[in-house]
Amino acid sequence: ADALYRRSVDSAAVGMCLTTPEGRFTDVNQAMCEFFGYDTQSLLTKTWQELTAEDYLQADLDKVADMVAGRIESYRTTKQFIHADGHPIWGELAASCLRDADGQVEVFIGQITDITAEVHAREQLEQARRDKQRDDERYRRSIDNAAVGMCMVTPEGRVTQINDALCRFFGLTPEVAIGTRWQDVTEPEYLEE
């Protein structure tokens, strides 16, 4: 049973580890090594504190203190870690503890799911959204400040955007012009039959 358990831990898709109450790794699986970019022996010389990004360290220290004090038995968080080569990586951490007969923390259990790709995808999507918003604002300013009348219409001829120059030409406010069919404001003699 112990051998089967060990093989299960070693081949798990998520990083799994045990740490001392002080934070030193005492057991790690292959997924944990791959996540951090260390071989097993190198990772066993580290503490989780060394591998936690500075902005996330205090929150983790507070949660660990809550576990040691018995206020909580486990917690989950999304946080940034530091890869062996120095670049930031992201993981979803589930941490819990085992206590001895006196109720003292004997060992911490950590499981980390690598979400670096998902975080980068969200960041790229957010950047694309900001870029689009900036481009839309720039486009809108260009249209609004154009000296010539400009508008955008649907295939059916309804005005969806119109600038001030064209509104002045037709004697309409933007609120009235939006939704109007261009055919309705064009002199009949200029419309094709």
Query: 122-146 pLDDT, tens per residue?
Result: 999 999 999 999 998 998 888 888 8
pTM listed for this prediction: 0.71
Domain coordinates of the chain in residue numbers? 2-119, 144-184
What are the distances in angstroms from CA 66 to CA 58, 60, 98, 175, 183? Answer: 12, 10, 14, 58, 71
63 pLDDT more than 60: yes
Percentage with pLDDT > 70 across the chain: 98
Q: Give the confidence band of 172 by pLDDT, cuts at 50, 70, 90.
A: confident
94 pLDDT more than 80: yes
Question: What mean pLDDT is predicted for residues 8-37?
Answer: 92
Judged on CB neighbours under 10 Å (0-12, 13-18, 19+), 153 is middle
Determine the CATH number of domain 2-119. Answer: 3.30.450.20
Question: What mean pLDDT is predicted for residues 95-100?
Answer: 96
Q: Give the confidence band of 186 by pLDDT, cuts at 50, 70, 90.
A: confident
32 pLDDT more than 60: yes
Mean pLDDT (the chain, rounded): 91
